[in-house]
Chain A
Amino acid sequence: MAGASGLGTGPGAAGGDGDDSLYPIAVLIDELRNEDVQLRLNSIKKLSTIALALGVERTRSELLPFLTDTIYDEDEVLLALAEQLGNFTGLVGGPDFAHCLLPPLENLATVEETVVRDKAVESLRQISQEHTPVALEAYFVPLVKRLASGDWFTSRTSACSLFSVCYPRASNAVKAEIRQQFRSLCSDDTPMVRRAAASKLGEFAKVLELDSVKSEIVPLFTNLASDEQDSVRLLAVEACVSIAQLLSQDDLETLVMPTLRQAVEDKSWRVRYMVADKFSELQKAMGPKITLNDLIPAFQNLLKDCEAEVRAAAAHKVKELGENLPIEDRETIIMNQILPYIKELVSDTNPHVKSALASVIMGLSTILGKENTIEHLLPLFLAQLKDECPEVRLNIISNLDCVNEVIGIRQLSQSLLPAIVELAEDAKWRVRLAIIEYMPLLAGQLGVEFFDEKLNSLCMAWLVDHVYAIREAATNNLMKLVQKFGTEWAQNTIVPKVLVMANDPNYLHRMTTLFCINALSEACGQEITTKQMLPIVLKMAGDQVANVRFNVAKSLQKIGPILDTNALQGEVKPVLQKLGQDEDMDVKYFAQEAISVLALA
C-alpha cells in the first residue's frame, strides 16, 4: 500500500473543485486492490466512475500509472480492465491524450490469456483511430514495433492485429517499416505467431497499395499456404478471398491460382475443408472465368473427397454455388457438372453429408426450373424423404417451400405423407418437435382438404404425447392452424376434440385441454370461447387435482378479456371466488391473481 498512499497524498492535481479531498486516490486504489476478486472486478467495471471523479488530469497522472504497474491480477479482472480502457479516451482528456492509455494496454496485450489479449488488442485498435497522425507515429507505431519484437509469442501475436490499423495513416517511410515487420512475423519461428499473421493477412492486404500487395503480400500468402503446419495453411485459404478481391483477373491467374489449386489438393483434410467452407466467397472473388475453368472441377473433387467432413462442407455450398454462377450458364453447368456428383451424395455413407445436402438441395429447383426439377431433382427428393436418417428427411421437409414455388407440393405429397408420419412418430422427441414446427407451413401448402384427411389426426395425437415439450408445441401448432384455416374450421374439427380431453382420466391430458383453450381462445373469438370453451373450463374447476384447478384459474385469467361482462360477472366470478377459498395454496394464489387482473373483486 505504500505506493498507493504516496499517490494519494499529492495535492489534487485537478484543482478547481473541492471534491478531490473527499476521495484521495488511495481509497480508490484500495478498492481496486481488494482481496476479494469479486470486489476488485466490481471496482474495475466502474473504472470510468473513478476516472470521472478524479478528473482528467489526475486520471492521467495517478490512476493510469497505477493501472500500468499493477497488471498482475486474475484474468477476469484484466479482461474488464482491457475493455474499460478502450472507451477511456474522453476520460483522459480527449484524442490529444489518447496515447496515455497505451502503456497499460500494451501490458495487457502481452498477457498469456487469449481473451484478455484479444480484448486489449480490440481496445488498442479502437484507440488507434482516435490518435492524430502525429501521435500515431510518435506513440502508437513504436508500441506496435515493440510488441512485434517481443520475446514471448503473446506480444507478437497481438502485434499482428495492429498493423492494419496504423498503416493507412502512416508516412511512407514508416509504412515500409510496418510491411517489413509484418513480413518477419509471417515467417516467425512460432506457429502461434504465424497463425496470427496468416489470419490477419487478408485484412492487412486490404490497406496496402496494390503494388505492395503484388510484390509483398502475394509471396507471403504463397509461403503461408505451404507452411509445414496445416493449421497455418488453412488460414491462408481465408486470406486468399481478401487478396483475390484486390487483384485483376490476369494477376489472379498467375499470382493466386497456383496456390489455391494446391490448397484444393492439400494432403490435410482441414485445408480442403477450409476451401469447401469458403467456396462461395472464393467463387465471388475469383470471378466467373476462373470459376468455370478451375473452381468447378475443384468443387467436384471436394464433393467426392475421401473425408466426410469435406464432402459435407462442400454439399452445404451446392445451392450458393448455383446462385453465384452467371445466370445464362448456370442451368447447364449444374446439370452437366454438378448434378452427377449430387446424385452420388444422396446415397452417401455418412449421415452428415446427406443431411448437409438435404438442407440445400431444394434450393436448386429455382435455378433449374420446373422441367429439370421434375425430371432430375424430384427422384432425389423422394429418395431423401425415405432416407434412414431422420435429419435428412427433416431437412427436406423444412425446405419444401422452395419446391412449392417451382413445381407445387402436390408432386411430392404422396411421398411426403409417409415421411411425415414416420417423423411424427420418431422415438426422439426432438425430431417430433422439429416436424411439428413445420406443420403450419405444410398445412398452408397442402391445403385444408389434404390436411384434414391425412394430418389432422397426427396433430391431435401430439396433444397426448408423453413429453411436455411436444404437447406444448402441439398446442401452439393448433393456434397457428386456426389462424391459417379460420374459425369455422376450428369449430368443426379442432375444438370438439380438444374439449373431449377434458374428461380424460389422465390429469396431464385434462391440463392440455386448458392449455389449448389458452392458445385458441383468441384466434377463435368471443362466440366460440363463451359458448363452447368457457363451460368446460368452469366445469374443470371442480377437478380433484389441484394442478388442474389452478390452471383453470390461469385459463380464466387468460380468456377473461375475450368474454363479455355478463359471462365474467355471472359465471367466471363465482368460480374464481370459490377457487379463492380452495384448500390448496397455489390454487388460492392463482385464483386471487385472476380476480385482481380481471378486476372482479
Chain B
Amino acid sequence: METKLPPASTPTSPSSPGLSPVPPPDKVDGFSRRSLRRARPRRSHSSSQFRYQSNQQELTPLPLLKDVPASELHELLSRKLAQCGVMFDFLDCVADLKGKEVKRAALNELVECVGSTRGVLIEPVYPDIIRMISVNIFRTLPPSENPEFDPEEDEPNLEPSFGRDPRHGERTSLTPRQLDEGHRLVYEFFLRFLESPDFQPSVAKRYVDQKFVLMLLELFDSEDPREREYLKTILHRVYGKFLGLRAYIRKQCNHIFLRFIYEFEHFNGVAELLEILGSIINGFALPLKTEHKQFLVRVLIPLHSVKSLSVFHAQLAYCVVQFLEKDATLTEHVIRGLLKYWPKTCTQKEVMFLGEMEEILDVIEPSQFVKIQEPLFKQVARCVSSPHFQVAERALYFWNNEYILSLIEDNCHTVLPAVFGTLYQVSKEHWNQTIVSLIYNVLKTFMEMNGKLFDELTASYKLEKQQEQQKAQERQELWQGLEELRLRRLQGTQGAKEAPLQRLTPQVATSGGQS
C-alpha cells in the first residue's frame, strides 16, 4: 500500500520549537509514487475546481528563462505565470496532455528560477505571481468521500483502498480527492517565493491580503495531509513575514477552532493549525495580552472536549504547556478547565488527559500546585479506581515521576486525604493484579512519607464509610420529606384555589404549556 506518505516533519513531533525549517526541495517529496497512482483508471473531474473549463486554450511552449537576455526575462516570466494560471485536470491522465506538459515544465522552471536566481522578484511580477497561485490553489474543497471518516481508523483520502469494491457502495463518492501534481508544484513555487531572499513583504502585502489569508485557511480542511503540510509551512512563513496579518490570522484560526468545537466537528487541519500556533505562542511577548489568555481559556481548553481529540492532542498539549511556561499564573485556569472537560466515558481520551496533566505537572510551580492539588488529586483518584486498567495504570504512573512525588510529599496533608480512601478501597477491589500491586507501592510510599498521617487515615477510613452511608440515608429522608411537603402544598393551593400554582401538576410543569 502506498497510502502513507508522511511529509518530512510529521505532526507527531510538535516538540520542535516552532516549525522545523522547510527541508530542501529534494527532500520535500512525498510524491515520488505519482506514476503508480496515475496508472490506475480514474474518473475524475468532479472536483469543484474544474467547473470553469469551457474554452480550453492551447498552450505553446515558451523559451527557457535562462535562455533569454535579462532585459526580456520579466516579460517572459509574466507569460509563463499566465500559462501556469491555465487549469488542467492533472488527475485525468488522458486529456490535454500537451498543455499539461507545457504547464508542468513552466512550473518546474519557475520553482527552479525563484529558488536560485537573484533579482527575479521585482515589483511588477508580484501581482502575476499571486494571481497564478490563487487561481491554482483556491477552490471549494469537495465533499468528503467518507462522511463518517474516523481519523484514527480510516486511511486519509489519498487513494481508493485496494481492498474495497466501490460497487458495493462502501465509498460514497467516486473520485479520490488528492493533491495533484499541478498543486504540488504551485505550493512548492509559493514556498520558494516566500523564502526567496529577494522577497519583499512590503510589496507583497498589497496582494497577500486578508481575503487571501482567509482562503488559505479554508484549504486547511483538505483531506490530503501533504497539502496540509505545505499549507502549514506556508502559513507559518506568511505569519512570520506579514506583521499586519498576524492578528487577523489568529482571529480566523479562533473562528475555525470555535466552529470546530461548537458547531461542526469536522476540520482536517486542526493539528497543523495548532502546530503553527504552538510556535506562535512560543514567540509571545510577556506579559501576555488578554487576547492570548482568552485564546488559551476559551479556545484551547474547550478543544479538549472534541471527539477526535487524539488526532491533534499532541499539538494541543504542546500549546498548553507553552502557555504555562510563559506564564505560570495560568496554571490554575488550565487545570480547572481540564478537570471540567475530563472525559466521562472515553477511556482513551482519559489516558490522553492524564498524559497532558503529567506534562503540565512537570512544569508546574509549587505555588500553583497548592491551588489545584485537591480537585486534581480527587480526579486522579477517580482515574485510579477506573475499571479500565490502562486509565488506572496511567494515573498511578504519576507516582513514578520524581517531581510530582516531591510535590505530593510537600503537600501530603492535603493530597493524602484526597486520594487515600479511593486507593485503599481500590487496593482491595480492583480486578487487575498489576493495578493492585501498583497501588500497594503507592500506599507504601505514603507510609514512608508520613507514617503518622497514614495511620490516622487508615483508622478513620471505616468511620468515614459509615458516615457516608448515614449521609446518604439523611439525603434520602430529606428528599422524601420534600416530596411530601410538595404534595401537601399542591393540595393546599388547589384547595385554596390559588390560580398561579395550579398549573404545577406534574404533567403541566414538565410540558411547559402556557396557562
Interface residues of chain A, those whose CB is within 8 Å of chain B, are 19, 22-23, 27-28, 31, 39, 46, 48-50, 52-53, 55-56, 74, 86-87, 90-91, 93-95, 112-114, 126, 129-130, 152-153, 190-192, 195, 228, 230-231, 267-270, 306-309, 349-352, 355, 388-391, 428
Q: What 1/0 flags go to B476-496 for Cβ under 8 Å of A?
A: 001101110110111000000
The distance in angstroms between the C-alpha atoms of A129 and B514, with both chains bound, is 8
* Residue from A49, A55, A269 in contact with B482 in the complex, judged by beta carbons closer than 8 Å: A49
Residue of A nearest to B261 (CB): A112
Contact of A351 among B167, B489, B502 (CB under 8 A): B167
- List CB contacts (< 8 Å) of B158-184 with chain A: 166-169, 172-174
Task: Name the interface size band of chain B.
Answer: 35 or more
Complex alpha-carbon distance, A91 and B142, angstroms = 53
Task: Write out the residue numbers on chain A whose beta carbons fall within 8 Å of the beta carbon of B43.
Answer: 349
**A431 (CB) vs chain B CBs: closest residue:** B168
Task: Let me know if B45 is at the binding interface, CB within 8 A.
Answer: yes
Q: B209 to chain A: closest CB distance in Å? A: 12
With a cutoff of 8 Å between Cβ atoms, the chain A residues found around residue B510 in the complex are 87
Q: Does B262 contact A (CB under 8 A)?
A: yes
CB nearest neighbor in A for B341: A75
A190 touches B169 (CB 8 A): no
Task: Report yes or no: B481 in contact with A22, Cβ–Cβ below 8 A.
Answer: yes
B287 interface residue per 8 A CB criterion = no
**Nearest B-chain residue to A350, judged by Cβ:** B174
Nearest A residue to B504 by beta-carbon distance?
A90
The answer to whether B45 touches A230, judged by C-beta atoms less than 8 angstroms apart, is no
Q: Are A267 and B143 in contact (CB under 8 A)?
A: no
Q: How far is the CA of A307 from the CA of B503 in the complex (A)?
A: 54
- The answer to whether residues A52 and B490 also contact, given A27-B478, A391-B169 and a CB cut-off of 8 A, is yes
Complex: A126 Cα to B214 Cα, angstroms:
39
A152 to B291, CA, bound (A): 12
Given known contacts A90-B509, A192-B259, A349-B174, is B489 in contact with A230 (CB within 8 Å)?
no
Q: Residue B462 at the A interface, CB < 8 A?
A: no
Contact assessment for B509 and A350 in the assembled complex, using a CB-CB cutoff below 8 Å: no
Known: A267-B48, A349-B174, A350-B172. 10 other contacts (CB 8 A): A49-B479, A53-B482, A86-B512, A90-B500, A192-B262, A228-B211, A306-B45, A306-B48, A307-B46, A351-B166
Q: A53 contacts B169, CB within 8 Å?
A: no
**Taking chain A's interface residues, is the majority helix, strand, or loop, or is none over half, making it mixed?**
helix
Residues B486 and A49 in contact, CB atoms below 8 Å apart: yes
Given contacts A93-B500, A152-B298, contact A389 B168 (CB under 8 A): yes
Quick check: A191 and B259 within 8 Å, CB to CB? Answer: yes
Interface residues of B in 226-258 (CB under 8 A from A): 255, 258
Residue of B46, B48, B143, B214 touching A228 (CB-CB under 8 A): B214
Bound form: Cα–Cα A172–B432 in Å: 71
Assess whether A49 is in contact with B483, with CB atoms less than 8 Å apart. yes
CB < 8 Å neighbour of B503 from A90, A231, A428: A90
The contact sample of 22 A-B pairs, CB cut-off 8 A, is A19-B485, A19-B488, A28-B482, A31-B478, A49-B486, A52-B489, A53-B486, A74-B340, A90-B503, A95-B500, A153-B258, A190-B255, A228-B214, A306-B46, A306-B50, A307-B143, A308-B143, A308-B174, A350-B174, A351-B167, A352-B169, A352-B173
User: Which chain A residues border B340 with CB–CB below 8 Å?
Assistant: 74
Q: Are A48 and B504 within 8 A (Cβ)?
A: yes
CA distance A95 to B515 in the complex (A): 9
Known: A52-B504, A230-B140. A352 touches B479 (CB 8 A): no
Q: Is B388 an interface residue when CB atoms closer than 8 A count as contact?
A: no
- Least CB distance from B468 to A in Å reads 10
In the complex, chain B residues whose CB is within 8 Å of the CB of A86: 512
How far is B146's CA from A208's CA once the two chains are assembled, in angstroms? 42
In the complex, B343 has a CB within 8 A of chain A:
no
Q: Is B94 an interface residue (CB 8 A)?
A: no
Contacts of A190 in B (CB 8 A): 255
B488: chain A residues at CB < 8 Å are: 19
Q: Tell me whether B262 and A112 are in contact (CB under 8 A).
A: yes
Q: Which of B168, B172, B298, B482 has the most CB of A within 10 A?
A: B482
Q: Does B68 sit at the interface, judged by CB under 8 A?
A: no
Q: Nearest chain B CB to A100's CB is how many angstroms away? A: 13
With A114-B262, A192-B262, A350-B174 known to touch, is A22 a contact of B485 (CB < 8 Å)?
yes
Are B500 and A231 neighbours in the complex by a CB distance under 8 Å?
no
Q: Which 9 A-B pairs have the closest CB atoms?
A: A94-B500, A52-B486, A268-B140, A351-B169, A53-B485, A309-B143, A87-B512, A90-B504, A114-B262
Task: State A468–B436 Cα separation when bound (angstroms).
Answer: 42
Closest chain-B Cβ to A436's Cβ sits at a distance in Å of 20
